[in-house]
A and B are shown apart, each in its own frame.
Chain A
Amino acid sequence: MNRRIAAARETWKAFPGTLNAMEAFLAELGLRNGWFERAQDCFATELLLREMLTNAVEHGCRCSPERQIRCRVRREGNHLFIAVKDDGQGFEWRNAGARAARPSEASGRGMEILRTYATRFRFSASGNAVMVWKTIGREKNDD
């Protein structure tokens, strides 16, 4: 089988806990520029990363530039790993997102997005760090 395996690519960065700093990090990361061969992998990865980072900014850091977010994104071949950690108190993830949001509810879809697009994910005990693993080139339903 003639199968091209992408070389390893990794970014690690710490930045202030604001949406502006988050957008600057995403622009610098450049997920849309050569990280992925398939549009759906690029979309899924950026969506997962945005959910993780936005939660860290809004809930962990309360949008404070005094607080800090640390993020690591690594792709090696078909394996993607994302880790996001913030300075905040964390949250009780064990009770979060147990049910799908009702269609009329304007919030509560972040956990459903993680469940849908990540191959697997894990929170730290206190809930201020989240890690995502994704198999690139396969939809979750293929697993």
Chain B
Amino acid sequence: MTETLVTRDQERGVVCPGGDVVASSIPELRALMRGLISEGVREMVIDFSNVQMLDSRGIGLLISAHNSLRAVGGSLSVTGVCQEIDSLLRTMRLHRHFAVTAG
């Protein structure tokens, strides 16, 4: 997986994974996202511009982040998703719980 880009502006953090959000990339992304929340990020944006595949472990990561942020009064949003990932998130009914924006 190519490098994940993180930009931070006070309570807002944008995470842009360099590749797919799948089982093999989850440990690195989870550590990174937990770190941001523990450092005070409350509005987290995951930019999927470079993501072509999201599996059930990746969905689990998004839900965990959403749960953690909600517990501290924050929010998660996912942007730049391709048509297939948008369809997957809608099929799993996740667009009802955090904002999903197509790319």
Binding between chains A and B:
yes
CA distance A32 to B82 in the complex (A): 15
Q: Is the CB of A106 within 8 A of B23?
A: no
Q: Is the CB of A106 within 8 A of B53?
A: no
CB contacts (< 8 Å) of A57 on chain B: these are 23
Nearest opposing residue in chain A for B66, CB measure: A104
CA distance A19 to B20 in the complex (A): 14
Q: Is the CB of B67 within 8 A of A104?
A: yes
B contacts, CB < 8 Å to A: 22-24, 52-53, 55-57, 59-61, 63-64, 67, 83-85, 87-88, 91-94, 96-97
**Is there a chain B Cβ closer than 8 Å to A66's Cβ?**
no
Nearest opposing residue in chain B for A39, CB measure: B84
Interface SS of chain B: helix, strand, loop or mixed? Answer: helix
Q: Is the CB of B24 within 8 A of A103?
A: no
CB contacts (< 8 Å) of B22 on chain A: these are 50, 54
Nearest opposing residue in chain A for B70, CB measure: A104
Taking the nearest CB of chain A, how far is it from the CB of B52, in angstroms? 8
**Is there a chain B Cβ closer than 8 Å to A109's Cβ?**
yes
Taking the nearest CB of chain B, how far is it from the CB of A108, in angstroms? 8
Q: Is the CB of B64 within 8 A of A109?
A: no
